[in-house]
Structure 1
Amino acid sequence: MHAEVRYSALICALLTFTNAFYVPGVTSKSYKDGETIPLLVNKVYSEESELQFAYTELPFACPPTGRVKAGRFSSGASISLNLGEVLRGDRITVSDYQLAMGQDEEAKFLCSRTIDAAGIQKTRLLIQYEYSAEWIVDNLPGATSFMSTDKSKKYYAAGFKIGEVVKDMNAGLQFAIHNHVTLVLRWHRAPGRDGEKGKKVIVGFEVFPKSISASGRKEDGLPPSGEVTHAPFILTVPSNATDMRDTPDASITIPFTYSVYWREDEKLEWKNRWNIYFVASDDSSNVHWLAILNSLVIAGLLTAVVAVIFTRAIRGELKGDTIKLKQRRPSGSAKTGSGLLGSVEDIEGAAETSADDEEDLTGWKLVHGDVFRAPAYATLLSAVVGSGTQLIFAMAGIIILSAVGILNPSFRGGYVSVGIGLWLFGGLFAGYFSSRLYRTFGLQDWQQNVVRTASLVPGLLFATIFVLNLFVWIQASSTALPFTTLVALVALWLFIQLPLVYIGGWYGYSQAGAYIHPIKANAVPRQVPPQSYYTRSVPVVLFAGFAPFMVLFIELMFVFKSLWLDKSGYYYVFGFMSVVGAILGVTVVEVAVVATYLQLCAENYHWWWHSFLVGSSSALWIFSYLVYYFYTKLHITGFVSSLLFFAYGALACAIYGLLVGTVGFLASYVFVRRIYAAVKVD
């Protein structure tokens, strides 16, 4: 066991060296001088709100005219999105900004946008909540750049502020809109033959926003050139009104301009162009190693406890042990099965340990006739475990694909899209394990179990998303899912998920059959004696989840920061996450085994649900930390945003709990089968 853990840790540690590598997924796009390149506008988002809005639907956004042609794109065209992009709130449209490879534009007029009082009020609120815009060129998000204190490193933060709050001694707080952007695009010579032909690739996209007053502009709408100090464009209430609501017909006209500069970057190659977005992540690598060290210490302590149980307690108790039963399962009376939990030959082979002398039965040996009795709510447990194995497959696939670089930032929405695909395919495993366990419990209606298994997680997700979608839809946010997307999700469940679970369920129930238990359950259940405090379900479940939570704690800080502070969604240090995930799995297994052993020693044979709850209990600690993070680190305001945060946070914790709870259950199931198979039954 120790050797297997060491080898697994070594293999996983090697994956940490892949955290800065990614497979682009597509070949680079090269451009010749003067070739038009589309600038795509996506959405605006904020650290203080969970609501996102499509950029083209903002009151101040210049409506596309269709005059810009870039290959097969023309301004105003909506870009087709994959399912992951739609679910994350992307709404990408081609803009009127004209970019030509290698051609600088000192100043260019875009449009004059007239907005009414309601538009002014909404824009001011967006600026107040520090909303940032996401623009895209050649699949790179426009970024705000920063320099380190010693000027040695340059950092990119995706997005740029749409405006700023200006403090005036006389007027108080004022809101200035950024109506001019300076676009700096960095290029590198294209690799291969395209480079020999003089073509170039884009390796950087920076946006420098600025607010420029409408006064003093030229006839063409451009601001005065030269070294001129520009006053900001303030979104003011009309002078004859004390409140925006007093003048609903009032409006202001905002001129929008932009500049374009192309600069060569000889050091940065196209394949490494995303690295600059992750400089901050690279700087925190020492903290990630600290997280791994912390996880190894916790897992090592638990491994020592499990080793004591196996070497001293169980092996010592089994030596010379004989349990006599009046009835014994005849050889070959049940169908031989194989799979994750082992075959009947393995179990019977492990039962060779015997002796002639009898001894008094105590502890876990005393409940041998009840330990394999079907639990309460066995139908629900079968569906839960089946769904958990499906999630294990999907999560393992996502982490592996991300760690080796197949899932990467250039594949927008790929994390969600591929995750859904893996989860759908995992329906085969869900149906198989659920149906085998269902038959093991002696239940008959396996078709009903298939529907229950196939509907458990999708039903929970769809019901939650549908209700929350109503709140988001009222706010006119791009986070609201279109009706067609909801129909597509139902179609995926009906035509892909359900058939795959059915196929797996049919094979697991009819072909593989039930798992074979080494001891037959007694006809009359044994009475469970009063339990000590440390064997009662509630305290055990609460305290058992602390160790897995501590394994994840440091890495959780980076995940939360990426999701709710940076709002970039660019958490791609999956090399470290794969190691922490492997250690987490080992920790959950060990905690579940120890808790199950202590429960059986207390002559409590109701271990089925107990092992699952012990495995999933770290989800309670994670949600508690999520609440703490909300009140101490985040600045989210508003009822709807808070509702979205806690609802989706609770949903994520529930899915995580289902996954690790299944790991704990399977580990305990294997453990219980092995220790009772090692007892000679006469």
Structure 2
Amino acid sequence: MNRLVPFALLVLLQLAAAVRIPAVTEAAVGRELLSEKDHTYKVDDPVPLWASKVGPFTNPSETYEYYSLPYCQPKDGVKHKLLGMGEVVDANRMASTPYQLQFRKNRNRELICEQLLDGDRLAKFRKAVKEDWYFQMYYDDLPVWGFIGKMEKLFKPGGVTEYKYYLFTHIDFDIKYNDDSVIEINVSTDPQEAVDISDGITDTVKARFTYSVKWTPTATMFEQRLQRYERFPLNPVHLEIHWFSIINSCVTVLLLTGFLATILMRVLKADFIKYNKDDPAMDEEESGWKYVHGDVFRFPPQKNLFCAFVGTGTQLFYLALFIFVLALVGVFYPYNRGALYTALIVLYALTACIAGFAASSYYKQMEGELWVRNILLTCFVYCGPFLIMFAFLNTVAIVYRSTAALPFGTIVIMCLIWSLVTIPLTVFGGIAGKNNRAEFFAPCRTNKYPREIPQLPWYRTTLPQMIMAGFLPFSAIYVELYYIFASVWGHKVYIIWSILAIVYVILIIVTAFITIALTYFQLAVEDHQWWWRSFLCGGSTGIFVYGYCFYYYYARSDMSGFMQTSFFFGYMLMVCYGFFLMLGTVGWRASLMFVRHIYRAIKCE
């Protein structure tokens, strides 16, 4: 049995990283269309153009298969390219197209087909033009976009507004090459050949779908061909303004943090001097954080759930670190289809042992006895809510017949990875943590009965403290959030991973410090129940980020519709929940180190 587990782990990692998963299992795949591996071609070699998806430009999650619109299909039938798991999760569905784009072969006004658009066909195209649909294709792994049509607003006498809808039927492909490699591809449409499909014009429309191909030599090297997407016209990234905004935000936050740190250091220094004096009169006062030393290391209530949260938060912390390492070494280059999703799935499975070890180790140190329940809770504390949310959103996508709905085969593979890799690694990590000989270090003995907490003003209660704790870290990442949202929930490209890594480090530092400061103020008023408070205060930034989601959706984006709304707020809820667990763990670990330090530095009798 012990030999089968590593073997199963190896097999499933190969499935996740290398095995090609069919986007549409019932489609036959032509082997001759799967040859773009070395990206080198000879003159007149066929280079397939793959249609990925179509959908409303303002709703990035609401995507559909290309042939959900009645476009001309290849004469030999539609073939689907086999995709990796990350590509499928990214809602790509590669279907062959009738466009013949042989390497370095020009074409002028080639006819694809003629169609008589009537009834349902006409209604589909009209709906797509009304909602500003776009299409996305890939040519030699290079993405290309275009719009389905255009809408014009006409003002007639009497204040009457009339809308005209035009379907683009001709596409110009402008392709650049260098020696034997494709370097760049651009798509443009000819407005002179747009077909009027407005309401009430006619019941039938005759459309001739044509295309042209022009090849142009370029000096750009193959290794540099993706650099143009960093400043793609649909995805402008103003680097200078971006850098200035981030630096300004970080300097402001660091100055404020340094100011508060200086004050806290001086206050602590005065406390150490006062508490280490042998003054009987001072002992009679019995006020301040020294006098709760007998309760400050009393383990928190619901320590099973607490340790599961800490274990999962630790896993997510290391997961983020590994993702940044891969990003900084150039793994996630622009439009590397699904690479980020594949990395997240595989790394989450591999780091499950960290969650099990951290949760079980702390649970044992806190003298917990139900360690099996603790390990199971660690397995489901994040995956459980995420699976429920995924099931709901995937059902919505299935109802909409969107490519955002994962195929059954992909769901089976992900469930196998979770059940045969993630859960076993969590269990193994939990067993190792249970057998860990480390003991909980407490500088002070814990009293048998807890000390009564004095009546505190409302602003020292949990909720106001969480608001204060979340504001400062959120202000450190506020500027960067817009660029991240515009990339994940829009059509911009995010490439400056170095900035994001810097912001991440600052977020961790600021979260740790602000939680330490609030823990000190809490202990100073003799409130010794700091365990859960420090976790909640550290994780409160996730609540602020979710609040920003509402601002971004209603004020900074044009997203609409039930599917897009449910996807945005549903998946962002899971992301913010992960932020809550990760930053809550950071806040608690920092507070634990701080509390141990200050109570070790004074005499506690």
Instruction: Output the TM-score relative to the length of structure 2.
Output: 0.87
TM-aligned CA deviation for residue 382 of structure 1: 0.7
Match of 1:174 among 164, 187, 208: 164
Q: Which residue of 2 aligns with 1:679?
A: 602
Task: Tell me if structure 1 keeps the 8 A contact 2:229–2:334.
Answer: no
Q: Deviations over 1:179-218 (max 9, x none)?
A: 11101111123xxxxxxxxxx211111000235xxxxxxx
The AA in structure 2 aligned to 1:234 is D
Distance in 1 (alpha carbons) for counterparts of 2:314 and 2:113: 55
Task: Tell me if structure 1 keeps the 8 A contact 2:61–2:489.
Answer: no
TM-aligned CA deviation for residue 601 of structure 1: 0.6
Q: Deviations over 1:274-331 (max 9, x none)?
A: 2211126553333223213311321232133123323x22233224746xxxxxxxxx
Pair 173,632 (structure 1): closer, same or farther in 2 beyond 3 Å: same
Pair 52,598 (structure 1): closer, same or farther in 2 beyond 3 Å: same
Distance in 2 (alpha carbons) for counterparts of 1:255 and 1:93: 21
Task: Tell me if structure 2 keeps the 8 A contact 1:175–1:234.
Answer: yes
Match of 1:277 among 219, 229, 238: 229
1:305 matched to 2:266? The reply is: no
- Deviates most, 377-386 or 76-85: 76-85
1:133 matched to 2:132? The reply is: no
Task: Tell me if structure 2 keeps the 8 A contact 1:83–1:417.
Answer: yes
TM-aligned CA deviation for residue 28 of structure 1: 5.7
Secondary structure of 1:44's match? strand
1:613 matched to 2:575? The reply is: no
Match of 2:70 among 56, 60, 82: 60
In the alignment of these two chains, the number of paired residues is 560
Task: Tell me if structure 1 keeps the 8 A contact 2:60–2:490.
Answer: no
Task: Tell me if structure 2 keeps the 8 A contact 1:395–1:419.
Answer: no
* Cα RMSD, aligned residues only: 2.3
- Give runs of aligned pairs for residues 607-646 of structure 1, distance below 5 A: 607-646=530-569
- Give runs of aligned pairs for residues 88-167 of structure 1, distance below 5 A: 88-142=90-144, 159-167=145-153
Distance in 1 (alpha carbons) for counterparts of 2:65 and 2:397: 16
Distance in 2 (alpha carbons) for counterparts of 1:461 and 1:572: 27
Q: Which residue of 1 aligns with 2:245?
A: 290
Distance in 2 (alpha carbons) for counterparts of 1:176 and 1:52: 22
Distance in 1 (alpha carbons) for counterparts of 2:582 and 2:171: 46
1:37 matched to 2:72? The reply is: no
- Give runs of aligned pairs for residues 521-670 of structure 1, distance below 5 A: 521-566=446-491, 568=492, 570-670=493-593
TM-aligned CA deviation for residue 174 of structure 1: 2.1
Q: Which residue of 2 aligns with 1:446?
A: 371
Match of 2:209 among 238, 252, 256: 256
- Give runs of aligned pairs for residues 407-486 of structure 1, distance below 5 A: 407-409=332-334, 411-486=336-411
Q: Which residue of 1 aligns with 2:23?
A: none
Pair 514,90 (structure 1): closer, same or farther in 2 beyond 3 Å: farther
Task: Tell me if structure 2 keeps the 8 A contact 1:102–1:262.
Answer: yes
Q: Which residue of 2 aligns with 1:80?
A: 82
Match of 1:315 among 269, 273, 289: 269
Task: Tell me if structure 1 keeps the 8 A contact 2:65–2:402.
Answer: no
The AA in structure 1 aligned to 2:454 is P
Pair 115,444 (structure 1): closer, same or farther in 2 beyond 3 Å: farther
- Deviates most, 644-653 or 103-112: 644-653
Distance in 1 (alpha carbons) for counterparts of 2:487 and 2:55: 13
Pair 614,164 (structure 1): closer, same or farther in 2 beyond 3 Å: same
Task: Tell me if structure 2 keeps the 8 A contact 1:303–1:590.
Answer: no
Secondary structure of 2:92's match? coil
Distance in 1 (alpha carbons) for counterparts of 2:353 and 2:255: 35
Secondary structure of 1:409's match? coil
The AA in structure 2 aligned to 1:602 is V
Q: Deviations over 1:12-53 (max 9, x none)?
A: xxxxxxxxxxxxxx9962222221111111001334335433
Distance in 1 (alpha carbons) for counterparts of 2:533 and 2:567: 31
Q: Deviations over 1:121-150 (max 9, x none)?
A: 2322221121111111111101xxxxxxxx
The AA in structure 2 aligned to 1:172 is E
The AA in structure 2 aligned to 1:629 is Y
Where structure 1 has 5 or more consecutive residues not aligned to the other structure, the ranges are 1-25, 67-74, 143-158, 190-199, 212-229, 241-249, 323-354
Q: Sequence identity, in percent? A: 27
Task: Tell me if structure 2 keeps the 8 A contact 1:52–1:89.
Answer: no
Secondary structure of 1:411's match? coil
Distance in 2 (alpha carbons) for counterparts of 1:313 and 1:435: 36
Secondary structure of 1:366's match? helix
Q: Which residue of 2 aligns with 1:232?
A: 194
Task: Tell me if structure 2 keeps the 8 A contact 1:619–1:656.
Answer: yes
Task: Tell me if structure 2 keeps the 8 A contact 1:59–1:115.
Answer: no
Pair 385,115 (structure 1): closer, same or farther in 2 beyond 3 Å: farther
Task: Tell me if structure 2 keeps the 8 A contact 1:49–1:129.
Answer: no
Distance in 2 (alpha carbons) for counterparts of 1:63 and 1:231: 20
Match of 1:394 among 305, 312, 319: 319
TM-aligned CA deviation for residue 165 of structure 1: 0.8
Distance in 2 (alpha carbons) for counterparts of 1:286 and 1:56: 37
Pair 434,137 (structure 1): closer, same or farther in 2 beyond 3 Å: same
Where structure 2 has 5 or more consecutive residues not aligned to the other structure, the ranges are 1-35
Secondary structure of 1:314's match? helix
- Give runs of aligned pairs for residues 197-236 of structure 1, distance below 5 A: 200-211=180-191, 230=192, 232-236=194-198
Structure whose residues are more often helix by fraction: 2
The AA in structure 2 aligned to 1:664 is G
Distance in 1 (alpha carbons) for counterparts of 2:515 and 2:452: 23
Task: Tell me if structure 2 keeps the 8 A contact 1:535–1:602.
Answer: no
Distance in 2 (alpha carbons) for counterparts of 1:592 and 1:585: 11
Q: Deviations over 1:362-392 (max 9, x none)?
A: 3111111111112122111111111111111
Distance in 2 (alpha carbons) for counterparts of 1:235 and 1:645: 32
Instruction: Output the TM-score relative to the length of structure 1.
Output: 0.78
Q: Deviations over 1:399-424 (max 9, x none)?
A: 22112212222531011110121111
